[in-house]
């Protein structure tokens, strides 16, 4: 395929003290790994504040790389803060849209979580900045029964991940079985709704969610976690088409059914209730990478990086966060499950 027919977007973390030379070097290594002469966009990944939007090393590097033809557009990405004291996604990315130095933004946007994003999209439109949606599909509506003699490919991967930390195969299977039981509990809770909506597969919900994102002409594209080639053939034709009324109704019904199951990315509303400062939304996002996107290893690695700030206090906590979620999410058992599932030790 010709290179100019593909838009390559990538991103990297930029620290407060990083120099332009360091950023340039990082981009050059990225170009080498990607085996391309240039990338179409290079974004600051997870920019942490409005002040960080002005990081001088990044802007000097981008000016140089643009002049050399190595980067065409600059951008930034943000999910929202880990704790309530941090700036919201709406504030940071709206400021980025108005800044004048960014060409593209990557933001959370889906049919259950779009109030803040609507504000960013409006600012981006006014300032002629491109938008890409991430976290497009909020719902997880499946459970995989475990047959120890006939594991699926994904289950086998899970067992191997646990075995690398000196667990026996039996212990790993036990954990897998416990996970399957929890998944089934959730599935049972939503089953009547699934049958009522005529949903045959979770993929229907996923495609409907992506379609909802793409039908907004002010949202220019979607970042989809493709887990197989077939999915590409199903998603690409959705672009430029309108949502049908049945699909829209299905999403409305899902919104209702999943309301107390889906932790909104970037939300911190329950943060003040936790005496241990557990970053609820961040941990639930890592769970989403695992269950919603099939990225088990990445999810576990990210969770491990939280170390002293993970959900380990939830097991013995008296549960001050009960009732703190305006959507009715039962936080403690969910975090307890996530911790149990993602801890390799
Ligand atoms: S549990 Fe509820 S309040 Fe807490 S971060 Fe998630 S959506 Fe927000
Ligand atoms: S269960 Fe306890 S430690 Fe865990 S989030 Fe809630 S208040 Fe914090």
Partners of 131 in beta bridges:
105
> Does the residue 145 lie in any domain?
no
Q: How far is the CA of 328 from the centre of ligand 1 (A)?
A: 9
Task: Examine the domain organization and report whether 231 and 276 are in the same domain.
Answer: no
pLDDT band, residue 308 (cuts 50/70/90):
confident
Residue 295 CB contacts under 8 Å (≥ 6 apart), including other chains: 225, 289
> Does the residue 334 lie in any domain?
yes
**Residue 315 in contact with ligand 2 by CB distance below 6 A:** no
Nearest ligand 2 atom to the CA of 313 is 3
First to last CA, the chain: 45
> Does the residue 111 lie in any domain?
yes
**Residue 317 in contact with ligand 2 by CB distance below 6 A:** yes
Task: Examine the domain organization and report whether 265 and 194 are in the same domain.
Answer: yes
Task: Examine the domain organization and report whether 170 and 110 are in the same domain.
Answer: no
Task: Examine the domain organization and report whether 78 and 224 are in the same domain.
Answer: yes
Task: Examine the domain organization and report whether 194 and 114 are in the same domain.
Answer: no
**Lowest-confidence segment of 51-55, 239-243, 259-263 by average pLDDT:** 259-263
Query: What CATH number corresponds to the domain at position 129?
Result: 3.20.20.100
Nearest-ligand number for the alpha carbon of 274: 2
Task: Examine the domain organization and report whether 10 and 26 are in the same domain.
Answer: yes
Task: Examine the domain organization and report whether 172 and 130 are in the same domain.
Answer: no
Q: How far is the CA of 336 from the centre of ligand 1 (A)?
A: 15
Convert the pLDDT of each residue in 84-137 to its tens digit.
Answer: 888 999 999 999 999 999 999 999 999 999 999 999 999 999 999 999 999 998
**Whose Cα sits closest to atom 7 in ligand 1?**
263
**Whose Cα sits closest to atom 8 in ligand 2?**
274
> Does the residue 215 lie in any domain?
yes
What total of structural domains would you count in the chain? 2
**Residue 319 in contact with ligand 2 by CB distance below 6 A:** yes
Task: Examine the domain organization and report whether 127 and 272 are in the same domain.
Answer: no
Nearest-ligand number for the alpha carbon of 324: 1
Convert the pLDDT of each residue in 93-107 to its tens digit.
Answer: 999 999 999 999 999
Convert the pLDDT of each residue in 209-244 to its tens digit.
Answer: 999 999 999 999 999 988 789 989 999 999 999 998
> Does the residue 324 lie in any domain?
yes
Q: How far is the CA of 278 from the centre of ligand 2 (A)?
A: 7
The answer for 17, left when phi > 0, alpha when psi is -120 to 50, beta otherwise, is alpha
> Does the residue 70 lie in any domain?
yes
**Residue 83 in contact with ligand 2 by CB distance below 6 A:** no
Convert the pLDDT of each residue in 138-147 to its tens digit.
Answer: 866 666 678 8
Task: Examine the domain organization and report whether 56 and 10 are in the same domain.
Answer: yes
Rounded mean pLDDT, 51-74: 98
**Residue 167: domain span:** 153-199+261-342
Task: Examine the domain organization and report whether 41 and 186 are in the same domain.
Answer: no
Instruction: Give the CA dihedral 87, 93, 94, 99, nearest 10 degrees.
Output: 110
Q: How far is the CA of 276 from the centre of ligand 2 (A)?
A: 7
Q: What is the C-alpha to C-alpha distance for residues 88 and 66, in angstroms, rounded to an integer?
A: 30
* Residue-level pLDDT at 225: 84
Which residue has better confidence, 185 or 68?
A: 68
> Does the residue 331 lie in any domain?
yes
User: Would the pLDDT of 80 be above 70?
Assistant: yes
> Does the residue 144 lie in any domain?
no
User: Would the pLDDT of 318 be above 50?
Assistant: yes
């Amino acid at each position: 395929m010709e290179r100019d027919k593909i838009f390559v977007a990538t991103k990297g973390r930029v620290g407060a003290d990083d120099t332009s030379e360091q950023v340039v070097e990082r981009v050059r290594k990225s170009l080498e790994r990607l085996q391309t002469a240039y990338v179409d966009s290079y974004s600051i990944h997870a920019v942490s504040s409005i002040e960080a939007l002005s990081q001088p090393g990044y802007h000097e590097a981008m000016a140089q790389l643009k002049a050399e033809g190595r980067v065409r557009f600059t951008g930034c990405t943000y999910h929202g803060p880990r704790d309530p004291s941090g700036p919201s996604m709406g504030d940071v990315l709206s400021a980025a849209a108005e800044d004048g130095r960014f060409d593209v933004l990557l933001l959370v946007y889906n049919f259950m979580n779009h109030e803040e994003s609507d504000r960013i999209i409006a600012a981006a439109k006014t300032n002629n900045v491109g938008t890409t949606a991430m976290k497009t599909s909020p719902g997880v509506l499946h459970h995989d029964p475990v047959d120890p003699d006939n594991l699926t490919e994904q289950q086998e991967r899970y067992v191997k991940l646990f075995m690398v930390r000196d667990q026996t195969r039996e212990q790993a299977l036990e954990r897998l079985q416990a996970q399957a039981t929890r998944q089934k509990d959730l599935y049972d809770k939503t089953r009547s709704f699934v049958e009522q909506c005529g949903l045959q597969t979770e993929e229907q919900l996923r495609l409907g969610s992506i379609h909802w994102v793409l039908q907004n002409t002010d949202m220019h594209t979607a970042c989809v976690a493709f887990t197989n080639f077939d999915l590409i053939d199903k998603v690409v034709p959705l672009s430029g088409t309108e949502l049908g009324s049945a699909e829209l109704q299905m999403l409305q019904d899902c919104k209702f059914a999943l309301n107390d199951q889906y932790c909104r990315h970037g939300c911190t509303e329950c943060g003040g209730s936790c005496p241990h400062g557990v970053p609820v939304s961040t941990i639930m996002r890592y769970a989403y990478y695992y269950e919603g996107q099939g990225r088990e290893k990445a999810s576990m690695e990210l969770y491990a990086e939280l170390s002293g700030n993970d959900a380990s206090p939830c097991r013995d906590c008296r549960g001050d966060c009960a009732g703190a979620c305006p959507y009715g999410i039962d936080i403690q058992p969910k975090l307890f499950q996530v911790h149990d599932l993602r801890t390799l030790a």
